[in-house]
Amino acid sequence: MGASHGIAEGKAYLLARKKTKFSKRYVAQEHVDKEIRRVQEALEKSKADLRKIKETLTHEDVHEHLFILDSHLMILEDPMLVDSVSEIITLERKNAEWALLTAFDNLKRVFNGSENEYLRERKSDFDYLCNWILKHLAGRGEESLQHINDKVVLVSHYLSPAETAQMDREKVIGFVTDLGGKTSHTAILARAMKIPAVVGAEKATQEINAGDRIILDGIEGLVVVNPTRETLDHYRNRKVQYGNLERDLLKARDLPAETLEGKRIQLTANIEMVEEANSVLEYGAEGIGLYRTEFLCLSQGRIPCEEEHFQVYRSVVERVAPYPVNIRTFDFGSDKSPDIASLRQERNPALGLRSIRYCLREPEIFKDQLRAILRASHYGKLRILFPMVSGLSELEKAKAIYEEAKEEVREKGQPYDPNVEIGIMVEVPSAALIADVLAKEVDFFSVGTNDLIQYCMAIDRVNKEVAYLYEPLHPSILRILKFVVEAGHAAGIRVGMCGEMASDLRYLFVLLGFGFDQLSMVSSMIPWVKRIIRSSRHEEAKSLVEMLLATKHGKENEMTLSTWIQEKYPDLSDAVLCGYPGSLGSSRKGISDYSGEPSDDLHERKAVPACFRVRSKGLCKGD
Ligand code: PEP
Ligand code: MG
């Protein structure tokens, strides 16, 4: 996976590190205290390491992300950690290493089941920390990056965020790791520090030898080992082109996302964690279209109190001001950790007591959240989004509780915006089919295609056996989208989309054709989506939609769409259809408003060997 954009070329530097090995032993009663002391000492050393690293980090790019190290320190300093390890040693008589691993495994379990990539990868932070302490238990610290003297591409089994933050950018020009994911803190830091990176390469440390020449493509998620002269030249050219393209795209950051005829679409970001709010404006987001607040509970393992909610929402709103933030009320239940929402295990959780249903059942919990949102509304522009609404009576009940919350805030004399807009997620077919009725009761719609398609096609969205039925262009879905947009517009309200369909470049023309007012997505996709919108014609997209609505099969529509894109937008088709945003052409007239030269590397891409172009993710040895 490409974790941080950019291309690096250099010599491989291998960090010889594997998971720290240790034996699992039971200890005798008389050794229990000694084992506990060993853990305490190792913990102290690890904390001291982290504090020292923090002190040495002065560069401002990294400074903004010091919260990552703070959160690591908080985990190590939490008395619960040492208590639970001590308890395991005492009760289960496991040796220090084994007890430590057990305690971290327990912590990780909370995150493991999450469908959310960001949260799943929080467990990698526990892995780093556990490994760090294990190293001290084994009597040695982590191999340092300090003695790297040349410019190198670092190759390692894993890299902790703390190490990444310490990297000297003059020397480490890129890195590849066997482990890791795109939204791990290590990847977040690599992006902040603009170090190209590929993570999750699985066998990089086995396939690459120290001193090998490496090309690392952080955009495609590709590592080429000992490339030929031709490949080297190709990537050198490409590096220049990427640089131009990125500069172009970022220059367009403040330009509107509008079609060639001037039809404007608002592009906003989806976030799960408060810290993501920092970077959304850098990508040109005009606010946050979906803040999934349930992750606040999932990351803490409990439902926060009103004050905690308030602090978080206020901070998000202030970070994004003057742009708006759509705060979605809790959508937990189903696959999002029922334990935490104190929900019973259900036979059919996706159809069970989730989301707004749970909130209506637990009005006090719901009201805590609503009061906090209202209080945060004083500090910026904020809107409320109710998830999983299935009909009018649910919406009426939710609004009644909202009115009570408002009254309570008012009675306490706390400042709030009395005109906070209320919207609903349109993600349950029953709601979609009465969109004309619901539109009269709210200020905006946000279509959640992840659930809408799940419920409409009767397929579990996390079950890969039925994933083939997940067809955004199925005639039923297209009809629903058309109906929802038209119903919303007839009532004079905005209609947006925040499901994954909104960030899939293939479907962009379809959404344009339907007339969506807002598209919300992972922020890094915004520059690419904007580029395509600014190169397209709304009228053409409308005719495309007419054509698709006339067909009977979703699969047929996929083919029709591909052909249409290739014919109408040949210079965009490579990027749109192959999911390779690095190759966006510029068919937009007046592209000079991005300044710099248009970056059309389509011609060059044709010269690239097939192994690099078609599903080129992974390692290509000796190309
Ligand atoms: C959706 O269902 O499309 C959506 C955006 O909500 P979530 O993915 O959080 O269920
Ligand atoms: Mg949903």
Contact 564, 581 (CB under 8 A): no
Compute, in angstroms, the gap from residue 537 CA to the centroid of ligand 1. 28
Range 402-420 burial, b when 16+ CB lie within 10 A, else e: beebbeebeeeeeebbeeb
Ligand 1 contact via 331 beta carbon (within 6 Å): yes
The neighbouring-strand residues paired with 8 are 216
Distances (CA, A) of 552 to 23, 474, 556, 565: 61, 8, 8, 20
Q: Which parts of 519-594 fold into alpha helices (H)? A: 526-535, 538-549, 554-568, 570-578
Largest CA distance in the chain: 80
State the amino acid at position 403 in one-letter form: E
**What DSSP assignment string belongs to 450-507?**
HHHHHHHHT--TT-GGGGGG--TT-HHHHHHHHHHHHHHHHTT-EEEE-SGGGG-GGG
Among residues 456, 498, 538, 620, which one is catalytic?
A: 498
| Closest among 125, 126, 167, 161 to 144, alpha carbons compared | 167
Which pTM does this prediction carry? 0.68
Dihedral sign, Cα of residue 307, residue 309, residue 310, residue 312: positive
Range 278-302 burial, b when 16+ CB lie within 10 A, else e: bbbbebbbbbbbbbbbbbbbbbeee
What own/partner pairs with CB < 8 Å and gap ≥ 24 does 610-613 have?
A: 612/220, 612/222, 612/224, 612/231, 613/578
| Closest among 344, 441, 336 to 386, alpha carbons compared | 441
**What DSSP assignment string belongs to 236-267?**
HHHHHHHHHHHHHHHHGGGS--B-TT--B-EE
- Burial category of 226 from C-beta neighbours within 10 Å (exposed 0-12, middle 13-18, buried 19 and up): middle
Dihedral sign, Cα of residue 537, residue 538, residue 539, residue 541: positive
Dihedral sign, Cα of residue 291, residue 264, residue 281, residue 2: positive
Distances (CA, A) of 607 to 29, 238, 246, 305, 580: 69, 12, 22, 58, 16
Ligand 1 contact via 499 beta carbon (within 6 Å): yes
Ligand 1 contact via 335 beta carbon (within 6 Å): no
Whole-number Å distance between alpha carbons of 262 and 256? 9
pLDDT at position 421 is 98
10 Å Cβ neighbour count for 140?
A: 9
- Burial category of 261 from C-beta neighbours within 10 Å (exposed 0-12, middle 13-18, buried 19 and up): exposed
Whole-number Å distance between alpha carbons of 462 and 454? 9
Ligand 1 contact via 272 beta carbon (within 6 Å): no
**Is 38 strand, coil or helix?**
helix
Which positions of the chain have pLDDT values less than 50? Answer: 338, 341, 579-623
Whole-number Å distance between alpha carbons of 164 and 160? 6
Ligand 1 atom closest to 449 (CA): 3
Query: Half-sphere exposure of 180 toward its Cβ, with a 13 Å CA cutoff?
Result: 33
CB-based neighbours (< 5 A) of ligand 2, an ion: 427, 448, 451
Token output for 190: 């690599």
Ligand 1 contact via 517 beta carbon (within 6 Å): no
Compute, in angstroms, the gap from residue 412 CA to the centroid of ligand 1. 34
Whole-number Å distance between alpha carbons of 1 and 219? 8
Ligand 1 atom closest to 290 (CA): 5
Domains of the chain, each with CATH number or no CATH: 2-16+148-231 (3.50.30.10), 29-137 (1.10.274.10), 257-426+495-537 (3.20.20.60)
For ligand 1, atom 8: residue with the closest CA = 450
- Burial category of 614 from C-beta neighbours within 10 Å (exposed 0-12, middle 13-18, buried 19 and up): exposed
Ligand 1 contact via 180 beta carbon (within 6 Å): no
Displacement of CA 39 from its chain's centroid (Å): 35
Whole-number Å distance between alpha carbons of 174 and 313? 35
Whole-number Å distance between alpha carbons of 436 and 14? 61
Active site residue 305: no
| Closest among 269, 255, 276, 261 to 121, alpha carbons compared | 276
Ligand 1 contact via 248 beta carbon (within 6 Å): no
Element housing 319 (H / E): helix 306-320
pLDDT at position 620 is 36
Of 351, 425, 452, the one to substitute when testing ligand 1's pocket (max ligand atoms within 8 A of C-beta) is 425
10 Å Cβ neighbour count for 348?
A: 8
Whole-number Å distance between alpha carbons of 155 and 399? 54
Phi and psi angles of residue 606, each rounded to the nearest 5 degrees, phi first: -65, -25
Among residues 65, 72, 136, 185, which one is catalytic?
A: 185
Question: In the block, which residue shows the tokens 């190290």?
Answer: 69
Compute, in angstroms, the gap from residue 621 CA to the centroid of ligand 1. 39
Phi and psi angles of residue 281, each rounded to the nearest 5 degrees, phi first: -70, -30
Compute, in angstroms, the gap from residue 186 CA to the centroid of ligand 2. 28
Active site residue 359: no
pLDDT at position 593 is 27
Give 558-593 pLDDT, tens digit per residue: 999 999 999 998 877 766 765 444 444 433 322 222
